[in-house]
Amino acid sequence: MTVKTRFAPSPTGFLHIGGARTALFSWLEARRQGGEFVLRIEDTDQERSTAESVEAILEGMQWLGLDWDEGPYYQTERFDRYREVIQRLLDEDKAYYCYCSRERLDELREGQRARGEKPRYDGRCRDLDGPPEGAEAVKPVVRFRNPQEGQVVVEDRVRGRVAFDNSELDDLIIARGDGTPTYNLTVVVDDADMGVTRVIRGDDHLNNTPRQINILKAMGVEPPEYAHVAMILGEDGKRLSKRHGAVSVLQYRDDGYLPEALLNYLVRLGWSHGDQEVFTRDEMLAHFSIDDVNRAASTFNPEKLLWLNQQYLKTLPPEEVSEHLLWHFGQLDINPAEGPPLGEVVLALRERSRTLLEMAESARMFYEEFEAYDEKAVRKNFKGRAQEVLERLHAELSGVTEWNAETLHAVVTGAAESMELKLGKVAQPLRVAVSGGAVSPPIDLTLTLLGRERTLARITRAIGQIPAESEAD
């Protein structure tokens, strides 16, 4: 049997960390076994669903590289199918109309809570032959006729065997008074129609599972296998929220994280393979199994994610990093055509960058002029013999015919020796002159990437600044 999984987000918000992990686990489980992965947008909540959220979900999935084989399907395009199933359940006496008013149901629940009972529908309309007297103006809902005896046993791939007594499950609503279907009906019909064989989702859905299995059986459909994954917690042990970092997946893109790093981090939230921390996508596909996912909740650690991102910046091929860096250049209005090849800049900056955003900001000096010098760097380095040093370097660099790191290194070290200065007393004023600050890649590499014309022009500019800065000091 071909394994078929699905990811079915509700577009009432963005794709967040928890949803992305569910999508990843579902994607890996299908891909590992040569199966199929379905993307379904559960947009029946028309008041809260937005086109913006749909677009953010699709964009987030594409950025993460979680491609789908079918879809995206939209539940709002399948209302005729849901109505067909609801009518069939009514015709087969597996569902019934309920005429109870909202006021009666609220009163019923309040009384049950006051008596310490579990709030649930009492089945008042379950055996009616027709509308009760005075119900002409009521728009009835449709309730599923849940079995009242026996158990529903879920052989969960993560949690193990979980049993539910049917006597504890009330007759849930499957169609509202306006005829629109509810979640527990639509998800069941979709999973059946789309041939989903394995449902991977958060354990907050576990209580829905016995109800959904009963509806599937009423439809004559064999239920899929289920795997309910434990929630993700913040470092304070509470459910993950925005203050912990549970923001849109696209926010991590905007903040300069690589998709490979985020996927690697997500796969380790509840799953492990020995002591390995860093996984390529191929290694995830080779080793991942939903059966190996831990039942315990996972803790989100932003520092660990940042560490992983650094590892990927250092080890991914420069051309791969460059593709993502180019996107950030676009966001920062940096023109990549106005400077050195992007791959060379990645190699120069990868050791000192934690995020792509930091890398892009650091790379700016190679592609455009900086507006001002860092005041602290100026006070520390534009003093003493700094003007003499820069004038000497400008003269010697002007005569360089082979503009490469080796030659430029020889010029800088030679100037330091001939002027009887420590290398830092030469390299640092030069660094501030050409970069505007006290930090850059090694000075010979910095000059190489800047090129002759930009380097000499910036040294000239700095020489003109030093007297004024020295007086200010």
368, 400, 433 — which closes off a domain?
368
31 domain residue, yes or no = yes
115 domain residue, yes or no = yes
The verdict on 346 and 396 lying in the same domain is: no
pTM equals 0.91
55 domain residue, yes or no = yes
253 domain residue, yes or no = yes
- pLDDT at residue 473, rounded to an integer: 42
The verdict on 326 and 382 lying in the same domain is: no
345, 368, 391 — which closes off a domain?
368
The verdict on 328 and 391 lying in the same domain is: no
Tell me if residue 380 is catalytic.
no
- pLDDT at residue 246, rounded to an integer: 59
- pLDDT at residue 336, rounded to an integer: 97
Whether 202 contacts 63, CB under 8 Å: no
The verdict on 387 and 465 lying in the same domain is: yes
* Full residue range of the structural domain in which residue 399 is found: 369-473
The verdict on 85 and 168 lying in the same domain is: yes
The verdict on 257 and 332 lying in the same domain is: no
The verdict on 392 and 468 lying in the same domain is: yes
Q: Which residue has the tokens 């190489």?
A: 448
Exactly one of 139, 238, 242, 314 is catalytic; name it: 242
Q: Which residues contact 217 (CB under 8 A, 6 or more apart)?
A: 223
Give the CATH number for residue 383: 1.10.10.350
Give the CATH number for residue 8: 3.40.50.620
Q: What is the DSSP letter of 372?
A: S
340, 368, 396 — which closes off a domain?
368
The verdict on 154 and 94 lying in the same domain is: yes
The verdict on 64 and 134 lying in the same domain is: no
210 domain residue, yes or no = no
Whether 231 contacts 225, CB under 8 Å: no
The verdict on 375 and 463 lying in the same domain is: yes
356 domain residue, yes or no = yes
The verdict on 42 and 67 lying in the same domain is: yes
- pLDDT at residue 467, rounded to an integer: 61
Count of domains in the chain?
A: 4
> What are residue 280's phi and psi, to 5 degrees?
-75, 165
Give the CATH number for residue 108: 3.90.800.10
- pLDDT at residue 244, rounded to an integer: 62
185 domain residue, yes or no = no
Q: What is the tens place of the pLDDT at every residue in 281-329?
A: 999 999 999 999 999 999 999 999 999 999 999 999 999 999 999 999 9
Residues of the chain with pLDDT under 70: 241-246, 467-473
CB neighbour class for 441 (10 Å; exposed up to 12, middle 13-18, buried from 19):
buried
Structure tokens at 209: 């599972």
Q: How much helix, strand and coil, in percent to the nearest 5, is found in the chain?
A: 50, 10, 35
The verdict on 354 and 380 lying in the same domain is: no
434 domain residue, yes or no = yes
